[in-house]
A and B are shown apart, each in its own frame.
Chain A
Amino acid sequence: MSIKVNDVANTMVEAVRGPLARIVGKRWPAVRKLVTEEMQTLASALLKIKRQYDTGKIDAARARELLVMHARIVDDVLRHIKGIGIYTARQTIDAAVRAALSLIGLKDPRSHSSASSGKSTAATTRAAGAELTATAASIEPTQEVAPSFKAGKDL
Chain B
Amino acid sequence: MTMRRQTIVILAAALVMVGCAWLSVAEYDPALAHGVAGLQKKVDTFLAGLGECAGTPEGEYDRHASFYAEARQELAGLGQLARVQPGNDLTVRSLDSLAENLDQLEAMHRAGITSADEVALIAGLFDTQFRMLLELENAKKTEEQ
Contacts and interface: CB of A to CB of B under 8 A. Distances in A.
B84 to A, nearest CB: 12
B63 interface: no
B86 interface: yes
A125 B121 contact: no
B15 A69 contact: no
A133 B90 contact: yes
Contacts of A84: 135-136, 139
A134 B86 CA distance: 10
Q: Which secondary structure characterizes the binding site on chain A?
A: helix
B104 A76 contact: no
Nearest to B12: A100
Contacts of B107: 65
A57 interface: yes
B115 A130 contact: no
Contacts of B139: 83-84, 87-88
A3 interface: no
13 contacts: A45-B124, A52-B121, A77-B132, A87-B136, A87-B140, A91-B142, A100-B11, A103-B8, A104-B12, A122-B20, A125-B17, A125-B21, A125-B24
Interface of B: 5, 8-9, 11-12, 15-26, 86-91, 93-94, 97, 100-101, 104-105, 107-108, 115, 117-118, 121-122, 124-125, 128-129, 132-133, 135-136, 139-140, 142-144
